[in-house]
Structure 1
């Protein structure tokens, strides 16, 4: 396993901890990720979570702009000032902190959603609504492309 794939809903325990899905923990271990970095999604009520490559992605974007510009300052505030590290306990659980809950609306359950090199944390009901809307947008986009079929059939 080398990518975060699928989605899972897990219950949060009375102490605010939740088990990271085992397939996600396998990806984390295979990549040698020691620290998980989390940041609020700019466009969704979700938390983006990943290893060093998530932070490096934003740092590359920052390097491409003038360090004295407003854009650089906004990116720096977003990546560094509005991010957090998530720590695993010995049983593979992370804490659902106020940082996470305030942005996502997560209460007693959390949806873990794989997005290849990282994953997201969602309130399960919000995720289902977003997934449904996203699927509709994708179907419309694909139907509007000439000659593209959105079916699972293999081209001959």
Structure 2
């Protein structure tokens, strides 16, 4: 099965579009995804992007919860109220609207980060800082990359 792996940083063009890296477009094509579900990450200043199945996963989890609980309310607020569907243009570019920019602080460049079944959009310096913090946290916990 194809996975979103690695990371790449691309410049945003004058019209506010960014080219999605070719390996990521290949994964989307292999999954037969045309419409992308995007939502604001719960923990990081990043946007998570995947196919409609990503939203379906959250909705299955939401269906298991009592709809009147705080957890169900919070989850719905974030996955529905903080999510949008978008499409790439025919050149494989994504239009970066305020939805993407406000949550992430993205300005003139975007880092695409693979997360296996989905990928993320980050401001490049925020991605590097989060990656360094994750590496340091794993080192402190004794987790190695063996």
- TM bin, normalised by shorter chain, reads over 0.9
SS of the residue 1:91 aligns to: coil
Q: Can you list the C-alpha shifts for 1:87-145, whole angstroms capped at 9, x where unaligned? A: 110100001110110000000000000000000000001111111111110111125xx
SS of the residue 1:81 aligns to: coil
Query: What CA distance in whole angstroms lies between the structure 1 residues aligned with 2:73 and 2:139?
Result: 37
State how many pairs are aligned: 146
CA RMSD after TM alignment? 1.3
Aligned to 1:131: 131
Aligned to 1:95: 95
Tell me by how many angstroms 1:54 deviates: 1.1
Aligned to 1:52: 52
Query: What CA distance in whole angstroms lies between the structure 1 residues aligned with 2:40 and 2:99?
Result: 9
Tell me by how many angstroms 1:85 deviates: 1.2
Query: What CA distance in whole angstroms lies between the structure 2 residues aligned with 1:75 and 1:97?
Result: 23
Is 1:67 the counterpart of 2:67? The answer is yes
Tell me by how many angstroms 1:151 deviates: 5.1
SS of the residue 2:111 aligns to: strand
Query: What CA distance in whole angstroms lies between the structure 1 residues aligned with 2:106 and 2:134?
Result: 20
Structure 1: unaligned runs, 5 residues or longer: 144-149
- Return 129-138 or 76-85, whichever deviates more: 76-85
Structure 2: unaligned runs, 5 residues or longer: none
Query: What CA distance in whole angstroms lies between the structure 1 residues aligned with 2:47 and 2:3?
Result: 17
Aligned to 1:147: none
Give the alignment's TM-score, normalised by structure 1: 0.89
Bigger Cα Rg: 1
